Amino acid sequence: MDPNSVEGTTRRYLMMGIMSMTVWRGFLVLRQIMLVAVTTIVPPMLAKAMKQQDFAGYRRVAIVSLIGNAFELARGAAMTLSRIYRGYPAWLWNLTGSYANSMEGRTLMYPILEIMLANWFPMTFILLVFLVTWNLVALLTLYFYVAFLIVLSTFLTFMLITLTKHLGPAAIMYVAIPLNILEMLNIIAVIEFVLPFYCQQLPPDAKATLNPVAGRVNYPASKICMIPEEATDFSPNAAYMGLMGFKIIVITESLLKSVGLVDTRSVLAHELGHWARGHMAVGVTTRLFQTIMCCFMLAISYGNSLLFQVFGFHDSDPPHPAVGVLVCWQYIVPLANAVILGVSYHPLLLLRVPGRQIRGGHGSGRRTHQRPNDARQRP
pLDDT tens series, the chain, 379 aa:
555 565 666 666 667 776 776 676 666 666 666 665 555 554 444 445 455 555 566 666 666 766 766 676 677 677 777 777 778 889 999 999 999 889 999 999 999 999 998 888 888 988 888 888 887 888 888 899 999 999 999 999 999 999 998 888 888 888 888 888 888 888 889 888 888 888 888 888 888 888 888 888 888 888 888 888 765 555 678 888 888 888 888 888 888 887 788 888 888 888 888 888 888 888 888 788 888 888 888 888 898 888 888 888 888 888 999 999 999 888 888 777 766 665 554 444 444 444 444 443 333 333 333 333 333 333 3
3-state secondary structure the chain: CCCCCHHHHHHHHHHHHHHHHHHHHHHHHHHHHHHHHHHCCCCCHHHCCCCHHHHHHHHHHHHHHHHHHHHHHHHHHHHHHHHHHHCHHHHHHHHHCCCCCCHHHHHHHHHHHHHHHHHHHHHHHHHHHHHHHCCHHHHHHHHHHHHHHHHHHHHHHHHHHHHHHHHCCHHHHHCHHHHHHHHHHHHHHHHHHHHHHHCEECCHHHHHHHHHHHHCCCCCHHHEEEECCCCCCCCCCEEEEEECCEEEEEEEHHHHHHHCHHHHHHHHHHHHHHHHCCHHHHHHHHHHHHHHHHHHHHHHCCCCHHHHHHCCCCCCCCCCHHHHHHHHHHHCHHHHHHHHHHHHHHHHHHCCCCCCCCCCCCCCCCCCCCCCCCCCCCC
Please give the pLDDT value at position 80: 74
Pairing state between β 224-227 and 238-243: unpaired
Contact 240, 249 (CB under 8 A): yes
Please give the pLDDT value at position 291: 84
The torsion angles phi and psi of 356, rounded to 5 degrees, stand at -75, 140
Please give the pLDDT value at position 126: 86
Please give the pLDDT value at position 28: 64
pTM of the model: 0.67
State the Cα–Cα distance between residues 284 and 297, nearest whole angstrom.
20
Q: Report the half-sphere exposure of 338 (CA within 13 A, side-chain side).
A: 15
State the Cα–Cα distance between residues 251 and 234, nearest whole angstrom.
10
| Residue 224: strand pairing partners | 249
State the Cα–Cα distance between residues 54 and 228, nearest whole angstrom.
18
